[in-house]
Chain A
Amino acid sequence: MGHSLIYIFIAAMWALILIGGAVLVTLVAQISVEGYGEQLDFLIGSIIKAAIAIILVVIWVLVLTKMKNKIFQKQIKS
């Protein structure tokens, strides 16, 4: 039972990576800023994309932490 939960956790991490990739490619990568000049548009756009990517990673870690606590609560307490 204990080991099967680790397999589930790995599969969940894999799914989160695929979902994260989908969000990055289909949503974040499409963001573009206009109206501040070519170079500034690129810079502002990159900063926004980087900030969203970092927020996504933080959310990813928080989701994993929640999952870890739920999945492994019994084992950790034992």
Chain B
Amino acid sequence: MQAEIISAIVASLIAFFVVLGLVPPLIKQLTKRNWVVKDVNRIGGAMIPRPGGPAILTGIILSEISLYFLLPADELITKGIAAILVTTSAAFVVGFVDDRMVLGGWFKPVALAVAAIPIIALGAYDSNLEFPLFGAVKIPALYLGVIIFMIPITGNTINSIDVMNGIASGFMTIAAFSLAIALFILQNYSVAIMTLPLAFASLAFYKYHRFPSRIFPGDSGALVLGAMYGVIAIIGHVEVIAAIALLPAVINSFLFLSSVKRIVEHRQIKNPTTHTDDHKITTTKETDAPITLVRLIVAGKPLTEKEIGLTIFRLAVFSGILAIITAFLMEVKTWVTL
């Protein structure tokens, strides 16, 4: 147990301080190359450097590699770390391409599905789908489909909630810590420790991404966070718990898809929100604009960007608590399964 505690501390520190240290020079480099985008919600429309993905990925890669050396030698741990490294790096490449070029709405889901293949190739999964209270279902063939769908879903879900300052990184910090706690409750210590770099890299990035943002994660950053979250859900056999911790972002995607009714690149749709005279964010009057979580939040009354972020974080904490309760329920067996 002592080795696990040391691994957890070292990996967390590496992830946190590498991201914390890399973002300022990255901001300088991006600004110098004029890789900047307009912050549409800021008064005056400041130009913000993007993407922060390279810093997030570096922090995660270095801390996961440290875990390979620090955790006890075990085939499952090696496969898990390899799956995280390969799939997360592939998701970064997909996001980086999308950061630099405008691609069709189908590009990211299909490319992320391809990025999920290494998980299958490495055999870093268990085909039992665990449910609370009632046990597991064995779905060997169907589970391959779950893997192929999981990474595009988690990647795009985090990407689609990256709409305002600090939301993607702050939301992922809360979701990843919730998932880590759930894994500790389920005594899946090695995967819980592998989750900590995601939580601490997100937390460090949040320092620069929070309102008023000094850098945006871009698609490369958001897809790294979302894809790694998906890989952890698979290798930790906590797919259902991971989905529950992500519910506010899932709702955002669900509302968007059920109003747009097709997979479309976000640049191609009308903005669901607009600004009031005092620069608060309010719902648009455009009837054909998509319904999103932010639009619902500001439907009652206009809010500032910071207030919207805090509302989403409270929703994330709520679903994180539901995920932790679900982890406890996993340990409870009903009469049906006894």
Interface residues of A (CB under 8 A from B): 1-3, 6-7, 9-11, 13-14, 17-18, 21-22, 24-26, 28-29, 46, 49-50, 53, 61, 64-65, 68, 72, 75-76, 78
Contacts and interface: CB of A to CB of B under 8 A. Distances in A.
Interface string B231-251: 000000000100110011011
Given A14-B244, A14-B319, 16 more contacts: A1-B300, A2-B297, A6-B248, A6-B297, A10-B251, A14-B322, A18-B131, A21-B133, A24-B129, A24-B131, A25-B131, A53-B139, A75-B296, A76-B291, A76-B299, A78-B300
Interface string B105-140: 000000000000000000000000101111111110
16 contacts: A10-B315, A10-B319, A14-B319, A18-B326, A21-B240, A26-B336, A28-B137, A46-B139, A49-B139, A53-B142, A61-B254, A64-B254, A68-B258, A72-B299, A75-B296, A78-B300
Interface of B: 129, 131-139, 141-142, 240, 243-244, 247-248, 250-251, 254-255, 258, 283, 291, 293, 296-297, 299-300, 311, 315, 318-319, 322, 326, 329, 336-337
Nearest to B250: A13
Contacts, number: 92
The SS class assigned to the A binding surface is: helix
A2 B131 contact: no
Contacts of B319: 10, 14
Nearest to A11: B322
Nearest to B248: A10
A29 B247 contact: no
Contacts of B131: 18, 21-22, 24-25
A14 B131 CA distance: 12
Contact of A9 (B251, B283, B297, B311): B251
A46 B293 CA distance: 37
B61 to A, nearest CB: 32
Nearest to B243: A17
Contacts of B300: 1-3, 75, 78
Contact of A25 (B135, B254, B283, B329): B135
B255 A10 contact: no
Given A14-B247, A21-B240, A76-B291, A6 B134 contact: no
A22 B93 CA distance: 39
A25 B337 contact: yes
Nearest to A23: B134
Contact of B297 (A3, A14, A78): A3
Contacts of B329: 18
